[in-house]
Amino acid sequence: MSDALITVALVEDNPGLRRSLETMLNRAPGIQCVGAFADGEQALRELPALRPRVVMMDINLPGMDGVQCVAHLSRDLPDTQIIMLTVYDNTDAIFESLAAGANGYLLKPVRTAQLVVAIKEVVAGGAPMSSSIARRVVQTFKKPAAATAEIPPLSPREREILDLLNQGLLQKEIADQLNISYWTVQTHIGRIYEKLHVHSRAQAVAKYLRQ
């Protein structure tokens, strides 16, 4: 295998699309698809042995969703670059994916040329995104500076939990790490949402990153 060959794995539950993407990748010069998985659980079991340089990840998967799978993979395979490949273009999906550890975000359908460029870009240290996604990310951060001054202070524990959310940890993992109950974490997150005037993890993380 050439050192220049970029190994890629797919996590996509649609069998027809999975086969199509696999064929598309294997026909692209300098790229080899080393694995294609129908769900996150199978991907987590087999990807550590394959150690692909890039993983293309769907969000809407049976069982564990793509965002949860990314959170695990970004810790198990820190050198592997993960690009979301999904139909979801809402702000929550985007920021939850990025907070979990994704390095890029592409919208389906995707052409071969776009996919190849994105793979090479992420390997080179970039963060490939569909243009509409990149614009949405920029717009999220273009908020009046005065708005952040109105945010009431978070307690040390709330800041600690928000920082762990930003790292992509799931609520159960936060509970285990802090040695508190799952329901205590839920209560703290509810207070964080209330103080930040947000309604989701993605919005809370975005506001946290702007401060």
Check whether 8 has a pLDDT greater than 80: yes
- Using CB atoms within 10 Å of the CB of residue 145, give its burial: 0 to 12 exposed, 13 to 18 middle, 19+ buried: exposed
Does CATH number 1.10.10.10 belong to domain 145-210? yes
Q: Mean per-residue pLDDT for 171-189?
A: 88
Q: What is the dihedral of CA 63, 47, 88, 210, to 10 degrees?
A: 110
- Contact residues for 11 (Cβ-Cβ < 8 A; gap 6+): 37, 39, 40, 43, 55, 56, 57, 58, 61, 66, 69
Distance of alpha carbon 23 from alpha carbon 18, whole angstroms: 9
Supply the CATH classification number for the domain 6-140.
3.40.50.2300
- Contact residues for 144 (Cβ-Cβ < 8 A; gap 6+): none
pLDDT tens digits along 75-110: 899 999 999 999 988 877 888 888 888 999 999 999
Q: Mean per-residue pLDDT for 124-136?
A: 91
Which residues of the chain are in CATH 1.10.10.10 domains? Answer: 145-210
- Contact residues for 26 (Cβ-Cβ < 8 A; gap 6+): 32, 33
pLDDT of residue 2: 44
Which residues of the chain are in CATH 3.40.50.2300 domains? Answer: 6-140
With contact defined as beta carbons under 8 Å apart, do 137 and 94 qualify?
A: yes
**198 — pLDDT class (breaks 50, 70, 90):** confident
Q: Of 198, 201, 192, 140, whose CA–CA distance to 169 is shortest?
A: 201
Q: Is the peptide bond before 52 cis (omega within 30 degrees of 0)?
A: no
- What the block records as the tokens of 62 is 């049976």
